[in-house]
Homo-oligomer: A and B are copies of this chain.
Amino acid sequence: MATDPAGIKALVFDVFGTVVDWRGSLLRELTSLGRARELDCDWEAFADDWRAGYRPAMNRVLGGEAPWQTIDVVHRRILDGLLAKYAITTLSEAETDHLNRVWHRLDPWPDAVTGLWRLKQRYIIGTLSNGNMALLVDLAKHAALPWDVVFSAELAKSYKPHPSVYRLPVTLLAAEPSEVMLVAAHGSDLAAAASCGLRTAYVPRPLEHGGARESRAESGSFDFRADDFNHLADLLGA
């Protein structure tokens, strides 16, 4: 890697897919709920549908067709549609609300916590996620993610990839864009960050969409490519 890490002050992380395994976590809760409530459902399809509803909902907001809402509200609207689609009619409001908050209880990838602790010794580490603040704080408690600071697109009342979101850590840390690096498993997120002047670190998460549909590695140009967060710590001398 040609880039010198000197000059980087803060690492901000995409969360869903990059830090936590949303699909594996959803499947564990959904199958457990299904057993407990004797629900028959294709939970893999259910989980994938839930996530698939997210980007179109963001795009409606970014396109001005819908007002900004927290991801909790977005997730709940998608969930209500899926419960109808999959004919799951026996959950109480409290159970449905609890299920919707599964996104506050996602488990980290195996390297995430140890890697973050190493990176934290040398850099400011924070989130930069479309998840709302309450979700991200709960997630950090659940998964023991040692963030120094939590940045959510909620603070810009927008979503990635709107530039206002990438400017948040720059402005709020009183940093230059080049002093902030986004760490993400998704090329589009990294490309949007780069166009705002941030540095970029790509960490592939081939199992984000499950073993049967291994994600292809991104082919874009990034400042760093690391196999996982511990490898990133190696590359950054942390």
142-169 of chain A: CB within 8 A of chain B: 147-150, 154-155
A70 contacts partner chain B, Cβ-Cβ < 8 Å: yes
> A1 near B: Cβ within 8 Å?
no
> Would you list 14 pairs from A and B whose C-beta atoms are within 8 A, ordered by A residue?
A72-B174, A132-B174, A133-B172, A133-B173, A134-B173, A134-B174, A134-B175, A137-B148, A137-B173, A140-B148, A141-B148, A149-B149, A150-B150, A155-B155
Q: Is the CB of A172 within 8 A of B124?
A: no
Number of copies: 2
Specify which of A141, A147, A172, A173 lies most central, judged by the most chain B CB atoms within 10 Å of its CB: A172
Interfacial residues, chain A to chain B (CB-CB below 8 A): 70, 72, 124, 132-134, 137, 140-141, 147-150, 154-155, 172-175
- Which residues of chain B are near A150, meaning CB under 8 Å? 148-150
Beyond A133-B172, A133-B174, A150-B150, list 17 extra A-B contacts (CB 8 Å). Answer: A72-B174, A124-B137, A124-B141, A132-B172, A133-B149, A133-B173, A134-B172, A134-B173, A134-B175, A137-B148, A140-B148, A141-B148, A147-B148, A148-B150, A149-B149, A149-B150, A154-B172
Taking CB atoms, residues of chain B closer than 8 Å to A133 are 149, 172-174
The CA of A98 and the CA of B124, in the complex, are separated in Å by: 19
Q: Please indicate the chain B residues that have their CB under 8 angstroms from the CB of A140 in the complex.
A: 148
